[in-house]
């Protein structure tokens, strides 16, 4: 499966001689808008430029500086930093939780329909099926810990969370730890849990202690996908508003993203212009 090439990423210098080079806007990452359109994002906290579309019809996506994991038309696609395809897998699902924290070896996907984990093992996208996650439970976050283990945040019917460690070889449960929190949506990076509930976005410790709370005026639910290893894209459900969370900031803030302009994705094989 061939994907359109990425727009060139150019990191700007603080000073530059105009005759020799141009200042460039820093790249933030890539955001999949609710329409499925994937856009490049440039700028600084709270001051963003939405670039041209680099991919259309994405059903889920996660990006790091080293690559991306994308669900498109029932196919899971692992790409490198230039959007060159590393591997594909037919999964026949229209919904999935995807994660890539760095190199392709960190890529992992949770497929709710088949209750399976798919991850890159260095040679192929391998699958581990789970027997059960608990009756009525929902996986809200997935993360690859190492070559053999994945971490799942699992929301029970009452909204309480557990952190389950799963073997990527057998799909068996290695351990389960309760988290003292009730979340409609959640995401974790190992040192903290991001939890949305009751129009509030909370940053929690691994055991559920509240470290910070941010108001988020969304009456429904939110989806969380990585724009890069440093930024998390938060979008409202039903769609309409989008925010970025810069994960490296000491005090986290939600910065609203502008709506994308109607710049269609390039056709496969088309030449893309560099972002200025």
pTM of the full predicted structure?
Answer: 0.84
Rounded-to-integer distance, Cα 176 and Cα 153, Å: 10
Residue 67 lies in a domain: yes
Beta bridge partners of 126: 119
- The CA-atom distances, in angstroms, between 200 and each of 41, 102, 257 are 25, 29, 18
> At a CB cut-off of 8 Å and minimum separation 6, what does 201 contact?
194, 195, 213, 214, 215, 216, 222, 234, 254
Residue 98 corresponds to which tokens in the numbers above? 């995807």
- Could you tell me if 72 and 60 are in contact, meaning their C-beta atoms sit under 8 angstroms apart? no
Residue 8 lies in a domain: no
pLDDT of 274 above 50: no
pLDDT of 265 above 80: no
Lowest mean pLDDT among 36-45, 119-128, 190-199, 233-242: 233-242
**Across 90-107, average pLDDT:** 95
In tens, the pLDDT along 217-259 reads 888 889 999 999 999 999 988 777 899 999 999 899 999 999 8
Residue 65 lies in a domain: yes
Tokens 């639910």 belong to 221
Residue 11 corresponds to which tokens in the numbers above? 């990191």
Averaged pLDDT of the chain: 86
**Across 40-65, average pLDDT:** 93
Residue 129 lies in a domain: yes
Rounded-to-integer distance, Cα 110 and Cα 96, Å: 6
Provide the phi-psi class of 67: left if phi over 0, else alpha when psi is between -120 and 50, else beta. left
Q: How confident is the model at residue 143 (pLDDT cuts 50, 70, 90)?
A: very high
Q: How confident is the model at residue 3 (pLDDT cuts 50, 70, 90)?
A: low
pLDDT of 199 above 80: yes
Domain that holds residue 131: 27-256
Q: How confident is the model at residue 16 (pLDDT cuts 50, 70, 90)?
A: very low
Q: How confident is the model at residue 76 (pLDDT cuts 50, 70, 90)?
A: very high
Lowest mean pLDDT among 2-11, 211-220, 251-260: 2-11
Helix (H, G, I), strand (E, B), or coil: what is residue 49?
A: strand
Beta bridge partners of 195: 186, 202
Percent of the chain with pLDDT over 90: 69
Residue 160 lies in a domain: yes
In tens, the pLDDT along 153-163 reads 999 988 889 99
Residue 115 lies in a domain: yes
Q: What is the DSSP string of 125-139?
A: EEEEE-S-S-TT-EE
pLDDT of 13 above 80: no
Residue 68 lies in a domain: yes
pLDDT of 272 above 90: no
Which one is predicted more confidently, 13 or 22?
22
Model pLDDT, residue 23: 53
Q: How confident is the model at residue 28 (pLDDT cuts 50, 70, 90)?
A: very high
Tokens 């760095």 belong to 102
Model pLDDT, residue 262: 59
**What is the total count of domains within the chain?**
1
Provide the phi-psi class of 46: left if phi over 0, else alpha when psi is between -120 and 50, else beta. left
- Could you tell me if 79 and 104 are in contact, meaning their C-beta atoms sit under 8 angstroms apart? no
CATH of the domain at 33: 2.120.10.30
pLDDT of 17 above 50: no
Model pLDDT, residue 74: 93
Residue 43 corresponds to which tokens in the numbers above? 């700028």
Model pLDDT, residue 14: 29
Residue 94 lies in a domain: yes
- Could you tell me if 130 and 117 are in contact, meaning their C-beta atoms sit under 8 angstroms apart? yes
Residue 93 corresponds to which tokens in the numbers above? 């699902």
pLDDT of 21 above 70: no
Between vectors from CA 178 to CA 177 and to CA 181, what angle results, nearest 5°? 145
């Amino acid at each position: 499966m061939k994907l359109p090439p990425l727009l060139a990423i150019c990191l700007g210098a603080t000073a530059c001689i105009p005759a020799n080079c141009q200042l460039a806007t820093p790249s933030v990452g890539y955001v999949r808008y609710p329409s499925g359109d994937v856009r490049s994002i440039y700028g600084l906290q709270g001051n963003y430029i939405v670039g041209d579309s680099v991919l259309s019809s994405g059903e889920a996506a996660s990006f790091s500086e080293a690559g991306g994991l994308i669900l498109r038309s029932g196919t899971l696609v692992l790409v490198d930093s230039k959007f060159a395809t590393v591997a594909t897998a037919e999964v026949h699902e229209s919904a999935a939780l995807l994660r890539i924290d760095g190199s392709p070896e960190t890529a992992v996907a949770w497929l709710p329909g088949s209750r399976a984990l798919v991850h890159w093992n260095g040679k192929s996208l391998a699958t581990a099926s789970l027997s059960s996650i608990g009756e009525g439970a929902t996986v809200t976050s997935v993360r690859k810990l190492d070559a053999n283990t994945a971490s799942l945040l699992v929301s029970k019917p009452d909204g309480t969370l557990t952190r389950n460690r799963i073997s990527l070889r057998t799909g068996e449960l290695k351990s389960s730890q309760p988290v003292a929190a009730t979340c409609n949506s959640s995401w974790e990076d190992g040192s903290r849990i991001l939890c949305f509930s009751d129009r509030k976005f909370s940053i929690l410790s691994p055991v559920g202690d509240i470290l910070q709370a941010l108001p988020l005026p969304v009456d429904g639910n939110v989806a969380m996908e990585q724009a890069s290893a440093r930024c998390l894209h938060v979008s409202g459900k039903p769609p309409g508003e989008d925010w970025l969370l810069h994960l490296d900031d000491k005090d986290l803030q939600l910065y609203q993203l502008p709506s994308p302009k109607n710049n269609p994705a390039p056709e496969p094989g088309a030449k893309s212009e560099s972002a200025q």
